[in-house]
Structure 1
């Protein structure tokens, strides 16, 4: 039997059982649509997040000491081990433009204008922590001055919102109170930095290390009492210098630094760049997308079982027809081809219909969460291939069973 003739017979069989064929195909449509929806959303989310992170990429190297094997972003579980001597020495590493220390000042609350709000800590750092375009109003604080910088979330804790020139009182966890002037308000996209996480929405108050930061330790190198910091940001001269800076920083820390002698035995130095953080985010999003897509594939498995079931029913219904075809010269391969084509067509139709349904589902979900869609076109080809594969796998046994039917028994079948 010619292929075109087999195709015509298979199509006629599908048309003669419209409702049954539609319900069978629906299982594949749902499965393919679910896969396309989740893959599209995953691809779009990945593109959106990486686009935001990539746009903010800087020639920075983030340094901290945390428990070995601990997962988390920069600064996770960090301990104050970097002395002022380490900060000064790192500034002399080849390719380094500046070193920005960062510490935490424990607080109980912040007061202004007769209002008091709880604030567990404020961030102590240097003026170079802030970019030139970071401020919506005001400027960076000066070292040695009682000045603070707020992000918008911190300013909005008060009613009316705090502005430049107003005074605030920081109530330290030690019981002391320090009055300071607000000299800068950060714009909505600044004030978190890599250490506070992507899209930081928590209220942040920034103060200069001098005079606010009081965590000190005796330097193993000089024997003097020095400030000691849990995290550092080493700024390279340019992007090309980042790999050299990363290597130089790690070499200094592991061989000649105060931190190497202060770090606990079960802690290790972490030296990461913005690209390292992007790669970690990319890996996390890929894993999440693959996991969700794997769940959606279960729908395809259910759909393939539906095709196998219907094809077995079809073989039973057409037993006498099979006997007649064999009695007039049809070979086993002709019968096999006939039923296999029918199963493949059901799978292919399901895949082709599932693609637009999946895109529609992704579009609706994207509109709901405010996500711009990025269509994974390669997955459309995968969906068609999967539809054909499902048809082949699901229809193989029923087709083989039909091909092995004895023509004498088939003609006697009622």
Structure 2
């Protein structure tokens, strides 16, 4: 009977369901996008390295922290490897083509710790750092800018006026936490210290033996660094896991907020259902009077209109789910991003749409059930 009544006025039923359709699809799309961004952030942090701790020297000008001090951190229990680094902006030139890029001076351990694969040639070797060799590994964007489609391995590049031999090109990594991993030039630490006029190590990348030891190694690092710097204001130790937890927390909060905003559409849709059901009750007053006159009880009339309201919201919920999945796939195709669908969120959105139908359908149904049969039959 509910379906038959909906069929009799298809356009009105569709317009009634529109609020529910938009609400459910909005919740699915926004939550899916939010979860997708959370996954993207997690992947970007993982690209920074495995089991990574980053030691930042906050005041390198007043601190005497050398490569030997950084290498000494290997002795700490739970530390697998370390990669000291200095960094600065330089001008790289090849013929008439020049570009401003970030220069990183480091050791051979950097490749493993920071998960930096090479697409052509090789990475830095220990001998390069030991003999202060003027060799360089280019990021993929830097190689493209300076050499175009040519293979730059074996060629030379001018860095701040000094000629460096290119021994390798990094595989493209994209951006991680707003920092491009492709617009760089990596050189031996001892060589970069001369080019950048920086005698002290600015950053040390520390790799823990495993993920479970990150907190322990972080505490041990802070204790060891305190004995070197004598002040906690001179350094900081950032855990990869802490960064991941912070970014995930922010992303989850944003996802919940977006889902909450989208849920408002469901409430608006519920009000639309209630208004139309009130109109339907008024239109079918005489029909209700006939039903009561031939023996229909109050609960029968209440159930009839309540079921009709639930069917409207259920159909709207199903159409909203279909529209949500289509819209999410379209968004993923346009942005070339991987969308993570959440079945629990989809189920919650659908159940919420049913509850909206029940809650907002009770009032018109209750009004219909209270009609007096004599007054209903005389209604014009």
TM-score between both structures, scaled by the size of structure 1: 0.77
Distance verdict in 2 for CA 1:298–1:259, change over 3 Å: farther
Distance verdict in 2 for CA 1:135–1:99, change over 3 Å: same
Partner Cα separation in structure 1 for residue 89 and residue 173 of structure 2: 25
Counterpart selection for 1:61 from 53, 63, 83: 53
In the other structure, the counterpart of 1:287 is 253
**1:204 and 2:176 matched:** no
Distance verdict in 2 for CA 1:27–1:258, change over 3 Å: same
RMSD: 3.2
In the other structure, the counterpart of 1:174 is none
Aligned residue pairs: how many? 369
In the other structure, the counterpart of 1:151 is 139
In the other structure, the counterpart of 1:269 is 236
**CA displacement at 1:182 relative to structure 2:** 1.6
**1:399 and 2:328 matched:** no
In the other structure, the counterpart of 1:231 is 203
In the other structure, the counterpart of 2:228 is 257
Counterpart secondary structure, 1:188: coil
Counterpart secondary structure, 1:313: helix
**CA displacement at 1:20 relative to structure 2:** 1.4
Partner Cα separation in structure 1 for residue 245 and residue 48 of structure 2: 14
In the other structure, the counterpart of 2:193 is 213
Counterpart secondary structure, 1:25: helix
Partner Cα separation in structure 1 for residue 33 and residue 89 of structure 2: 41
Counterpart secondary structure, 2:146: coil
5+ residue gaps, structure 1, are 1-7, 66-77, 172-176, 218-225
In the other structure, the counterpart of 2:75 is 92
Q: 1:146-185 alignment to 2 at 5 Å? A: 146-160=134-148, 161=150, 163-171=152-160, 177-185=161-169
Partner Cα separation in structure 2 for residue 323 and residue 58 of structure 1: 74
Q: 1:2-21 alignment to 2 at 5 Å? A: 8=1, 10-21=2-13
TM-score between both structures, scaled by the size of structure 2: 0.84
**1:244 and 2:216 matched:** yes
Partner Cα separation in structure 2 for residue 55 and residue 262 of structure 1: 28
Distance verdict in 2 for CA 1:82–1:322, change over 3 Å: farther
Q: 1:286-305 alignment to 2 at 5 Å? A: 286-305=252-271
Distance verdict in 2 for CA 1:284–1:365, change over 3 Å: same
**1:358 and 2:324 matched:** yes
Instruction: Name the structure where helix makes up a greater proportion of residues.
Output: 2
Partner Cα separation in structure 1 for residue 366 and residue 210 of structure 2: 66
5+ residue gaps, structure 2, are none
**CA displacement at 1:151 relative to structure 2:** 0.9
Counterpart secondary structure, 1:157: helix
Counterpart selection for 1:33 from 14, 25, 32: 25
**CA displacement at 1:42 relative to structure 2:** 3.8
Counterpart secondary structure, 2:75: coil
Partner Cα separation in structure 2 for residue 332 and residue 230 of structure 1: 80
In the other structure, the counterpart of 2:355 is 389
Does structure 2 conserve the Cα–Cα contact (< 8 Å) formed by 1:311 and 1:343? yes
Distance verdict in 2 for CA 1:247–1:35, change over 3 Å: same
Partner Cα separation in structure 2 for residue 262 and residue 333 of structure 1: 73
Per-residue CA deviations over 1:66-88 (Å, capped at 9, x if unaligned) read xxxxxxxxxxxx55357126424
Per-residue CA deviations over 1:266-312 (Å, capped at 9, x if unaligned) read xx724303x33333343343334333333332332232121111011
**CA displacement at 1:150 relative to structure 2:** 0.8
Does structure 2 conserve the Cα–Cα contact (< 8 Å) formed by 1:37 and 1:359? yes
